[in-house]
Amino acid sequence: MYKASIIVTISNEYSLTENFFTHLFSIIKDDIEIIAVIDGDTEKKTIIFLQEIQKAYPNSHIIYISENIGFSKANNIGAFKSESPYLIFLNSDTFPIDNALYKMIDFMENSPETGVAQGLILYPQNNLVQSAGHIFGFYKTTHVFDGVNQQTAIVQQTAERQALASGFYITRRHLFIAENGFDELFYNAWEGLEYSLKIHAKGYKCMYYPGAKAYHVKGSGRNRRFRDESYQTGYFWHHWGDIIKMDLPDILRMQLHDNDYKYKYLFINGSSIRNNIWDIILKDIPFNIIEKYNIEKSISKSAIALEDSVPASFLQSQTNLLFATDNFRDIISNYRLFSYRASFRANDLIIDLNGNVIYPHQYIKER
């Protein structure tokens, strides 16, 4: 019996498929099987390449589906064909690093209480964190620590999550079968996250394990065909909205220091959510906020130029600034402004919906 089965669905261009499989077979041995499901018609060159793969590697199995059925259905077909104790789900644009897949198997072997585990997912363009699991705010979920250095202390901590990203995770096959796999009402979104939530609700742990790493060429593997699946968000929150714990405040608190609560702050909201939602998120974090300002953020761009968005009375204030953003990268590029404020040792803070806590004076110094 194989140690694990890698389940991957193929619905992308030839170049990505060739790169994915060439890399994959360079890092695994014949003790792991690969079950690839062709999700709908694809180019002839890809089919020929996969046929050659199947001939060359006895541990590879190709399943051809003539119509495009989506991530959940295609992965379920592959998973139910497997017989290994563990299922490793990979997006076809995910490239595990070195022996990451074996590390994930070992982690599960040594953690019987764990039902699902995700490794650290990185951006291949800049080597920064893309996902360390999922984090939940007020009826919103994002990837934890998106955009920070992978060597950041909190990123390097193995941690339990409520939900994980299925582009690079492992689960026990018997649990997957018992849950009838991914919910097939989902199409190319939510399905992997929702499965890990179900396993967590059953009493098993969903663990983020940074010892295993992979690069993810985000958006390349599932987006070849467009479907309007906007119902999925409503369907997800209808089922899980009252069950999910809002853990964004907890992850922010883990990174804050006692001194951060001693300062007074001018609160500058540069995010896409309103102040009253931030009031809910920050309810149990004792920031001393004395005044607030909302940036009128353009829907056409994410980066914010502070000089044309915030009055000088705030930017030049001796009072510390507390910025709230969707992601800290939207605002950290304001080098001139943060350098100016560092000159008089302002203790400013940036918090974001990915759970990042950034000290601008320290960040720009390290860059």
What is the pLDDT averaged over residues 259-272?
Answer: 96
Check whether 137 has a pLDDT greater than 80. Answer: yes
Per-residue confidence band for 68, with pLDDT thresholds at 50, 70 and 90: confident
**In terms of CATH, what superfamily is 4-240?**
Spore Coat Polysaccharide Biosynthesis Protein SpsA; Chain A (3.90.550.10)
What is the per-residue pLDDT for 224? Answer: 52
- How far is the C-alpha of 163 from the C-alpha of 194, rounded, in Å? 7
Same fold, 4-240 and 251-366: no
3-state DSSP of 255-305: HCCHHHHCCEEEEEECCCCCHHHHHHHCCCCCCEEEEEEECCCCCCCCCCC
pTM above 0.85, yes or no: yes
Closest CA to 192 of 5, 9, 4, 3: 9
Q: Which of 59-68, 96-105, 225-234 has the highest mean pLDDT?
A: 96-105
Of 97-106, 116-125, 298-307, the range with the lowest mean pLDDT is 298-307
Closest CA to 142 of 7, 276, 298, 251: 251
Q: Which residues of 247-277 are buried (b: 16+ CB within 10 A; e: fewer)?
A: bbbebbeebeeeebeeeebbbbbbbebeeeb
Per-residue confidence band for 39, with pLDDT thresholds at 50, 70 and 90: confident
What is the per-residue pLDDT for 220? Answer: 53
Check whether 168 has a pLDDT greater than 80. Answer: yes
What is the pLDDT averaged over residues 15-32?
Answer: 95
- Domain segments of the chain as ranges: 4-240, 251-366
Per-residue confidence band for 83, with pLDDT thresholds at 50, 70 and 90: very high
Q: Vertex 45, ends 39 and 46: CA angle to 5°? A: 30
Question: Higher-confidence residue: 7 or 308?
Answer: 7
pLDDT digits (tens, 9 = 90+) for 286-325: 999 999 999 986 555 678 999 999 999 999 999 999 999 9
What is the per-residue pLDDT for 248? Answer: 98
What does DSSP assign to residue 65? E
According to CATH, the topology of domain 251-366 is Rossmann fold (3.40.50)
User: Which residues, other chains included, contact 187 with Cβ-Cβ below 8 Å and sequence gap of 6+?
Assistant: 70, 71, 72, 227, 229, 232
What is the per-residue pLDDT for 297? Answer: 67
What is the pLDDT averaged over residues 115-140?
Answer: 97
Which tokens belong to 230? 């906007």
- How far is the C-alpha of 117 from the C-alpha of 208, rounded, in Å? 6
Q: Vertex 44, ends 43 and 47: CA angle to 5°? A: 95
Phi, psi of 22 (to 5 degrees): -60, -45
- How far is the C-alpha of 64 from the C-alpha of 77, rounded, in Å? 10
